[in-house]
Structure formats: structure tokens, C-alpha cells
């Protein structure tokens, strides 16, 4: 390691990235991606990039609130700190503001990126090394009419994807969800994997059990978050009554949730998202609990730019317990602020050996999509 790793400044960017098409899930329609980018810079000019992509119904944070929390509460804690003291810094952030996991994830990944760049090693090496040589992802299909979803799935398969993930979740019309799943299975054939993400949409165990039983003939790989996030006992009941592979997503935000899920065997898989748990370090802790309990992990996304997507991919590469990867956010963007697209080849992702997160932030694109920028520390 060379140079002074004292953090001199933090740049904060309020960004909105365009999507190729609106993203439709059970609880909303997303026309674009509101996200907050942070850049740490040391006295010697070494940089580290991070990203916070909040979701009020998942992380409990709004976009506007995240911008203000990062600007006024979290970023001022960084200047003067040694970037090597990641855990001390993150604990200091906890002492300033409770919760706000997406906001804290931005600083966690920026510290990893900065340290990797300083050492000349990729983030996956900082996390313990590779557990696999490459990653395979699926493509997400937004909620729509059955025929539209079937056509979208066919396009993804034609593009080289061997698994699709279907967004469903209408409690008042779960029969339409069953038809959506069946239509996609009929369109793609028996060899393509189908994941079903309900995003809490079926709400109650009774509706979920009936819908899952009606969908089993379509052979879904797993059913994700079929009931309300607070109802872990209901999730366990769905798993017991249907025999389906169940993944918990919105119902698991951190280690405490994971301990409870493991204790009542509420799920077979857990969707680990940096924005939910507060960053790479805490994601590793959450995964350790899951792995000890025999619960597999997926590394998922809130639909993020190159920055957070790269962080998630480094995590997935490092953890042997990660069985499935959903880092397809950059494929859904009409424009990105980084160069991660070169990592993707159909459904295969190769994470490079480049230092830090391994991406280059294209500052011209960043400026184009930035609605507000602020600097805390030197040069402010």
C-alpha cells in the first residue's frame, strides 16, 4: 500500500438513470432509477465509488431522504478518517443515524473500492478470494399480460439466457399470475429455468398456498416472497404446505431477521441485497448465518448502476453459498454511468481482476444524469 489513505472529501450525486422500459412489479411501476452516487477521495487522490439505491417499501428509505441523510448526516463523518478503518467508520455512521441501510451501503462499497485500488487488488480478493470462476444470471420479465410476458421470455431465451425471472403478485387475481407462469413455461419449453418473484403480492398464506399449488405444474425453480414481509410464520407455513422452494427477500433485512428465518425454517433461500443489509461486510455476516443453517443465498439487486452492480457481483463471486445471481440491473438501463457492460456475455458474467470494483465511472454520463451535486470536506 502506498500513499496517504486519509479521506479528504466526499462527493455526493443525486442521479436518475433511464430505463429501457418501465419496470412493473407487484407494488409499483418504476419509470426510471433514482439513485445516489458517492465518491470518496483521499489526500493522495485515490478514489472509491459507492451507490445507494433506496426503496421505501424495502429499505425504508426514500430517494429525497437518502440524498439528505448522506449529505448532512453521513458524509461529514468521513473526512479525516483512515480508509483502512472500514469497520470503525461504519460503526460511526451507525452512531449518527439508525437504519438507512442503502445509504450506508454506498459508503461500505466505496471504502472497499478505494482500498482495492490502493492495494492494486479486486474487491473479491478483499472478501476472501473467488469461490467460482464466473457467474450466471437470469433476465427479469416485468409483470404484464400472460402473452406479453411469454413473448418477453422468448426474447431473453433467444438472446442466450437459460433462466427467466417472472414478476407476478396480484392477491385479488392470483389466477392471472398462475396463467402468466403457465404461459411462459409453454413459450420457453421445459429446459429453461423459471423463477417466480411475487414481491409480497399474494399477501396472505392462504392465497399464496393456492396459487403455488396451481403453479407447480409449470415447475418453477423457486417462489420468492409470496406473503407480506412481516409474516415470517406465514412464509414458513407456505413452505410446509406446498413443498415449493421458497426464497425470502423483503422479509430479510439483516442478521436479526436471518436468525429468525433460520430458527423457524421459513425459507430455503435468501435474497441478499446490499441495499437491504447495509453493504458488503454485513452481507457476508448475513450469509454466514444462512449458510450455517443450510439456507442458500442469492445476490440480488434493486436495479442499480454499474457501481452497485459491480459490488454485488464481487460479493457473489466470493461466497460459495451463493447459488443464484440477479445482478441484471445494467441490462435494464437505457444508459449507465459505468462500463460494466463488458462483463456480460449473454447470461454469463466474468468479473475482472482490475483493482477495486473494477469499473470506470464515465463522468460525462454521470454529469448528464445528475440533478444535484455536493462536496463535503476538502474543496467544498
- Per-residue pLDDT tens over the stretch 240-279: 999 999 999 999 999 999 999 999 999 999 999 999 999 9
pLDDT, one tens digit per residue, over 327-341 is: 999 999 999 999 999
Superfamily of 125-349 according to CATH: Enolase-like C-terminal domain (3.20.20.120)
pLDDT at 379: 64
Contact 9, 376 (CB under 8 A): yes
So where are the chain's domains? 7-121+360-377, 125-349
Query: Residue 95's pLDDT band (boundaries 50, 70, 90)?
Result: very high
Q: How many CB atoms lie within 10 A of CB 31?
A: 11
CATH of domain 7-121+360-377: 3.30.390.10
Helix (H) or strand (E) holding 246: strand 246-248
Please indicate, yes or no, whether the overall pTM of this predicted structure exceeds 0.85: yes
Query: Residue 3's pLDDT band (boundaries 50, 70, 90)?
Result: confident
pLDDT at 78: 98
High-pLDDT (> 70) share of the chain, %: 99
Contact 308, 8 (CB under 8 A): no
Q: How many residues does the chain have?
A: 380
pLDDT, one tens digit per residue, over 301-331 is: 999 999 999 999 999 999 999 999 999 999 9
pLDDT at 378: 80
CA trace torsion 176, 303, 327, 259 (10° rounding): -80
Which amino acids are annotated catalytic? 167, 197, 224, 249, 273
Distance of CA 31 to the CA centre of its chain: 18
pLDDT above 60: residue 1 = no
Instruction: Name which of 24-28, 232-236, 290-294 the model is least confident about.
Output: 24-28
pLDDT at 23: 93
For residues 202 and 226, give the distance between their C-alpha atoms in angstroms, rounded to a whole number. 6
For residues 248 and 226, give the distance between their C-alpha atoms in angstroms, rounded to a whole number. 8
For residues 316 and 326, give the distance between their C-alpha atoms in angstroms, rounded to a whole number. 10
- Average pLDDT in the chain: 97
Contact 317, 287 (CB under 8 A): no
The CA angle 110-112-113, to the nearest 5 degrees, is: 65
Contact 103, 54 (CB under 8 A): yes
Average pLDDT of the segment spanning 65-93 = 98
Residue with cell 459490488: 311
- Cβ neighbours of residue 364 closer than 8 Å, sequence gap 6 or more: none
Query: Residue 380's pLDDT band (boundaries 50, 70, 90)?
Result: low
Amino acid at each position: 500500500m502506498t500513499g496517504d489513505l486519509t479521506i479528504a472529501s466526499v462527493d455526493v450525486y443525486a442521479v436518475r438513470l433511464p430505463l429501457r422500459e418501465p419496470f412493473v412489479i407487484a407494488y409499483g411501476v418504476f419509470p426510471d432509477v433514482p439513485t445516489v452516487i458517492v465518491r470518496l477521495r483521499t489526500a493522495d487522490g485515490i478514489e472509491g465509488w459507492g451507490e445507494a439505491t433506496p426503496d421505501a417499501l424495502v429499505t425504508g428509505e426514500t430517494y429525497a431522504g437518502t440524498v439528505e441523510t448522506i449529505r448532512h448526516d453521513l458524509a461529514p463523518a468521513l473526512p479525516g478518517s483512515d480508509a483502512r478503518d472500514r469497520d470503525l467508520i461504519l460503526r460511526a455512521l451507525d452512531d449518527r443515524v439508525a437504519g438507512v441501510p442503502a445509504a450506508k451501503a454506498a459508503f461500505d462499497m466505496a471504502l472497499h473500492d478505494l482500498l482495492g485500488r490502493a492495494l492494486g487488488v479486486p474487491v473479491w480478493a478483499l472478501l476472501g478470494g473467488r469461490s467460482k470462476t464466473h457467474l450466471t444470471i437470469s433476465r427479469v420479465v416485468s409483470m404484464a399480460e400472460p402473452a406479453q410476458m411469454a413473448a418477453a421470455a422468448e426474447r431473453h431465451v433467444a438472446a442466450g439466457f437459460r433462466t427467466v425471472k417472472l414478476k407476478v403478485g396480484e392477491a385479488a387475481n392470483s389466477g392471472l399470475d398462475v396463467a402468466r407462469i403457465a404461459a411462459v413455461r409453454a413459450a420457453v419449453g421445459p429446459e429453461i429455468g423459471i423463477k417466480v418473484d411475487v414481491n409480497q403480492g399474494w399477501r396472505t398464506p392462504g392465497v399464496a398456498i393456492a396459487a403455488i399449488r396451481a403453479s407447480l405444474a409449470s415447475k418453477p425453480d423457486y417462489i420468492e416472497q409470496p406473503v407480506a414481509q412481516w409474516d415470517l410464520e406465514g412464509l414458513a407455513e407456505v413452505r410446509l404446505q406446498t413443498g415449493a422452494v421458497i426464497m425470502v427477500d423483503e422479509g430479510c433485512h439483516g442478521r436479526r431477521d436471518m436468525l429468525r428465518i433460520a430458527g423457524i425454517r421459513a425459507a430455503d433461500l435468501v435474497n441478499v441485497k446490499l441495499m437491504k443489509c447495509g453493504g458488503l461486510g454485513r452481507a457476508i455476516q448475513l450469509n454466514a448465518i444462512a449458510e450455517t443453517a443450510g439456507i442458500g443465498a442469492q445476490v440480488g439487486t434493486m436495479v442499480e448502476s454499474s457501481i452497485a452492480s459491480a459490488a454485488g457481483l464481487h460479493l457473489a463471486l466470493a461466497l460459495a453459498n451463493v447459488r443464484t445471481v440477479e445482478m441484471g440491473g445494467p441490462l435494464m438501463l437505457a444508459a449507465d454511468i459505468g462500463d460494466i457492460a463488458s462483463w456480460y456475455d449473454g447470461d454469463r458474467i466474468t468479473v475482472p481482476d482490475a483493482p477495486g470494483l473494477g469499473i470506470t465511472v464515465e463522468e460525462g454520463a454521470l454529469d448528464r444524469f445528475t440533478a444535484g451535486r455536493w462536496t463535503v470536506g476538502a474543496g467544498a
